[in-house]
C-alpha cells in the first residue's frame, strides 16, 4: 500500500480502489489533508467539500461491484462556473455568483456515476474572461513558480493538478481556457470539438458555441480516461496512430505577435519527435483572415455582454475591466458584428486547410511567451489585461471559433525553468487521434508530471 495516494494518477487510484489495495475513504482523506496543508499557498480552490466528499467516499466503498466504476475513488475538482449540487456557482467573483445549484451539471453527474469524488470547485477569473486567475482576495499561483500565473480561465484547476491536489480536474474553454492553463502548468489539456460534450445545464453560457468542457491531467492515459467518462464512452486503450501527415505552423493568429524562443523551440522539438515516431512533418500555415480576428474579438465581447444581460447581473458591481468588456460587447452586438455566418466561413476555410492538404493534424505553439506574472490583474485596466493576454496567448482562440478539437501537450522545460508546451489541432472527430499522438510524445520524451517539488509530502 502506498504511504499516501497524493501524487498517484487517476488510473492508479481507481485500480487500487477496485482491487482493494486502498479505500476511497483513505484516498480522499489523503487528498483533503494535503489540500488543507498546501492550498493556502496555491489558491486553487474556491470551495472544498470536505465533509460531503468523505461521506461520498464511504458510499463508493460500500458499493458491491466496483468493476464498473472507471474512476472509483478518484478525487476530482470542478471549475466553479459549472453547477455542483449543493454549492453556489461562483463564476469567478462574488458579484457574478449564482445561487446554490439544486442539481449537478450533466458532466458532474457522469463523473460521479463513474465513481469520482468531487473535492470542491476551483477558482477562475470573473466570468471566465481572462488568461489569468485572481479576484479581490486571492491570487491563484502557478506551482512551477509562485511568481507566475497558472493561466486562465481554468487557472485554479490547472494549479490543483500541477501541485497534486487532485490527479485530474474538470475545466472548460471558450478561447483557450483549458489549453492556456495546461501550457502554463505543464499539463495535458484537452478541448474536445463542438458537440462532443454537453456544454451547459440549460443556461446561456456557451458564448455563441465557443465554449467546450474539457479535462486537465498529468498523463495522456488519465486525460483519455477522463474524456471517455465525460463523453459517455467506455474507457479503452488508445490505438497507435498510423503514419500521419502533420502541419507545423508558427504563424500567429494576431498580427505583430510572435512566439518567443522557448515556444519556437518547443514546436521544433515536438516536430522532431513526431518524425522519430514515423510521421511526415510539413511546414504549412493556416489562413487567419484579418476580418475573423476583429469579429472573433467582437464575439468574445458580445458573449460576455449576453451572459451578463441574460443572468441579470448588476454590472456596476463587476470589476472595472469586466464592465468595459461588457460595454464593448453591447456595442458589437447592437451593430450586428456577431454573425454565425462569419464563424462558419472560418470553419470551412480551416476544414479546407486540413482536407485540401491531407493534413491529419497541426502543431502550433501553445503560448507566445512565458506565463504572466501572478498579481491582481483584476484591479488593472481592461486595456492592460487585453494587451497582456493577447501577447502571451494568441494561439488557442481560433479553434473555438471553428469548433475543432485541440490539445496542449508538455514538451520539456524552458530555459527560464517554466514548462514548455505545444498545441495539437485536428479536424472534427479527431480527439482520440490527438490523444494518441500526445501519447507518442509522452512515451518518446516523458515530461515531469507535477511541478518541481510537488507533491510536497
What are 97-143's pLDDT values in tens digits? 999 999 999 999 999 999 999 999 999 999 999 999 999 999 999 99
Residue 229 in contact with residue 111, Cβ under 8 Å? yes
Q: Which of 57, 34, 95 is nearest to 311 (CA)?
A: 95
* Residues near 393 by beta carbon (within 8 Å), at least 6 away in sequence: 131, 151, 176, 180, 367, 368
Active site residue 153: yes
358-367 residues labelled b (16+ CB within 10 A) or e (exposed): ebbbbbbbbb
- Helices (runs of H) and strands (runs of E) counted in the chain: 14, 11
Distance CA 45, CA 82 (A): 14
Q: What tens-digit pLDDT sequence spans the chain (457 residues)? A: 358 999 999 999 999 999 999 999 999 999 999 999 999 999 999 999 999 999 999 999 999 999 999 999 999 999 999 999 999 999 999 999 999 999 999 999 999 999 999 999 999 999 999 999 999 999 999 999 999 999 999 999 999 999 999 999 999 999 999 999 999 999 999 999 999 999 864 445 699 999 999 999 999 999 999 999 999 999 999 999 999 999 999 999 999 999 999 999 999 999 999 999 999 999 999 999 999 999 999 999 999 999 999 999 999 999 999 999 999 999 999 999 999 999 999 999 999 999 999 999 999 999 999 999 999 999 999 999 999 999 999 999 999 999 999 999 999 999 999 999 999 999 999 999 999 999 999 999 999 999 999 998 6
Render pLDDT for 399-415 as a digit per residue (tens, 0 to 9).
Answer: 999 999 999 999 999 99
The residue from 145, 149, 153, 430 that is catalytic is 153
Q: Domain count of the chain? A: 1
Does residue 450 lie in a domain region?
no
Task: Quote the cell numbers at residue 427.
Answer: 479536424
- Residue 204, pLDDT score: 54
Q: What are phi and psi for residue 134, nearest 5 degrees?
A: -165, 165
The CATH number of whichever domain residue 43 belongs to comes to 3.90.1300.10
Residue 161 in contact with residue 185, Cβ under 8 Å? yes
The residue from 177, 271, 378, 430 that is catalytic is 177
Does residue 326 lie in a domain region?
no
Does residue 5 lie in a domain region?
no
* Residues near 436 by beta carbon (within 8 Å), at least 6 away in sequence: 238, 239, 240, 241
Does residue 1 lie in a domain region?
no
Does residue 309 lie in a domain region?
no
- Residue 3, pLDDT score: 84
Does residue 319 lie in a domain region?
no
252-270 residues labelled b (16+ CB within 10 A) or e (exposed): bbbeeeebeebbebbbebb
Active site residue 177: yes
Q: 14: domain range?
A: 10-291+336-444
Does residue 329 lie in a domain region?
no
Distance CA 392, CA 386 (A): 10
- Residue 1, pLDDT score: 39
- Residue 203, pLDDT score: 45
- Residue 202, pLDDT score: 42
- Residue 456, pLDDT score: 84
Q: DSSP code of 443?
A: H
Does residue 129 lie in a domain region?
yes
Active site residue 79: yes
Alpha helices in 206-260 (DSSP H): 220-230
Amino acid at each position: 500500500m502506498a504511504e499516501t495516494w497524493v501524487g498517484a494518477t487517476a488510473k492508479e487510484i481507481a485500480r487500487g480502489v477496485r482491487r482493494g489495495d486502498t479505500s476511497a475513504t483513505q484516498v480522499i482523506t489523503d487528498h483533503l489533508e494535503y489540500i488543507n496543508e498546501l492550498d493556502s499557498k496555491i489558491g486553487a480552490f474556491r470551495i472544498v467539500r470536505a465533509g460531503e466528499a468523505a461521506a461520498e467516499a464511504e458510499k463508493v466503498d460500500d458499493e458491491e461491484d466496483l468493476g464498473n466504476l472507471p474512476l472509483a475513488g478518484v478525487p476530482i475538482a470542478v471549475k466553479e462556473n459549472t453547477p455542483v449540487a449543493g454549492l453556489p456557482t461562483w463564476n469567478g467573483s462574488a458579484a457574478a455568483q449564482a445561487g446554490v445549484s439544486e442539481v449537478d451539471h450533466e458532466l458532474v453527474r457522469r463523473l460521479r456515476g463513474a465513481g469520482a469524488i468531487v473535492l470542491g470547485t476551483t477558482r477562475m477569473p470573473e466570468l471566465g474572461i481572462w488568461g489569468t486567475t485572481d479576484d479581490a482576495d486571492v491570487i491563484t499561483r502557478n506551482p512551477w513558480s509562485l511568481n507566475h500565473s497558472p493561466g486562465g480561465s481554468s487557472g485554479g484547476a490547472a494549479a490543483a493538478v500541477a501541485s497534486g491536489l487532485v490527479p485530474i480536474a474538470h475545466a472548460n474553454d471558450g478561447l483557450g481556457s483549458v489549453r492556456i492553463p495546461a501550457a502554463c502548468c505543464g499539463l495535458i489539456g484537452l478541448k474536445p470539438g463542438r458537440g462532443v460534450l454537453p456544454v451547459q445545464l440549460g443556461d446561456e453560457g456557451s458564448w455563441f458555441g465557443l465554449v467546450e468542457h474539457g479535462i486537465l491531467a498529468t498523463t495522456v492515459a488519465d486525460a483519455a480516461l477522463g474524456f471517455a467518462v465525460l463523453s459517455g464512452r467506455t474507457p479503452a486503450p488508445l490505438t497507435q496512430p498510423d503514419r500521419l501527415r502533420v502541419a507545423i505552423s508558427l504563424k500567429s493568429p494576431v498580427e505583430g505577435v510572435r512566439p518567443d524562443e522557448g515556444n519556437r523551440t518547443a514546436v521544433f522539438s515536438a516536430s522532431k519527435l513526431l518524425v522519430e515516431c514515423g510521421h511526415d512533418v510539413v511546414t504549412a500555415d493556416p489562413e487567419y483572415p484579418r476580418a475573423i480576428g476583429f469579429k472573433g474579438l467582437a464575439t468574445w465581447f458580445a458573449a460576455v455582454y449576453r451572459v451578463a444581460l441574460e443572468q441579470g447581473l448588476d454590472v456596476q458591481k463587476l470589476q472595472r475591466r469586466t464592465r468595459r468588456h461588457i460595454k464593448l460587447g453591447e456595442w458589437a452586438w447592437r451593430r450586428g458584428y456577431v454573425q454565425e455566418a462569419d464563424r462558419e466561413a472560418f470553419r470551412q476555410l480551416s476544414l479546407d486547410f486540413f482536407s485540401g492538404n491531407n493534413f491529419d493534424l497541426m502543431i502550433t505553439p501553445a503560448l507566445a511567451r512565458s506565463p504572466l506574472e501572478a498579481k491582481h490583474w483584476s484591479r488593472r485596466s481592461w486595456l492592460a489585461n487585453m494587451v497582456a493576454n493577447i501577447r502571451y496567448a494568441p494561439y488557442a482562440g481560433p479553434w473555438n471559433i471553428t469548433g475543432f478539437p485541440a490539445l496542449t501537450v508538455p514538451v520539456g522545460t524552458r530555459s527560464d525553468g517554466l514548462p514548455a508546451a505545444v498545441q495539437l489541432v485536428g479536424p472534427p472527430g479527431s480527439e482520440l487521434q490527438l490523444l494518441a499522438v500526445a501519447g507518442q510524445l509522452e512515451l518518446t520524451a516523458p515530461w515531469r508530471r507535477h511541478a518541481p517539488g510537488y507533491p510536497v509530502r
